[in-house]
Amino acid sequence: MIEKAGSAKWMGGLKDGKGTVSTESTALKEQPYGFNTRFEDGAGTNPEELIGAAHASCFSMALSMILGESDLVPDEISTTAKIYMDKKDGGFAVVKSHLTVAAKVPGASVEAFEKAAQTAKENCPISKLLDCEITMSAELV
> Residue 60: helix, strand or coil by DSSP?
helix
pLDDT at 43: 85
- Domain spanning 47-140, CATH architecture: 2-Layer Sandwich (3.30)
Given a contact cutoff of 8 angstroms between Cβ atoms, the answer to whether 94 and 130 are in contact is yes
User: What are the tens digits of pLDDT across the range 43-58?
Assistant: 889 999 999 999 999 9
pLDDT band, residue 85 (cuts 50/70/90): very high
Q: How far apart are CA 74 and CA 72, in angstroms?
A: 6
Question: Residue ranges per domain, the chain?
Answer: 6-39, 47-140
pLDDT at 41: 84
pLDDT at 80: 98
Provide the 10 A C-beta neighbour count for residue 86: 10
> Which of 62, 65, 81, 85 minimizes the C-alpha distance to 73?
65
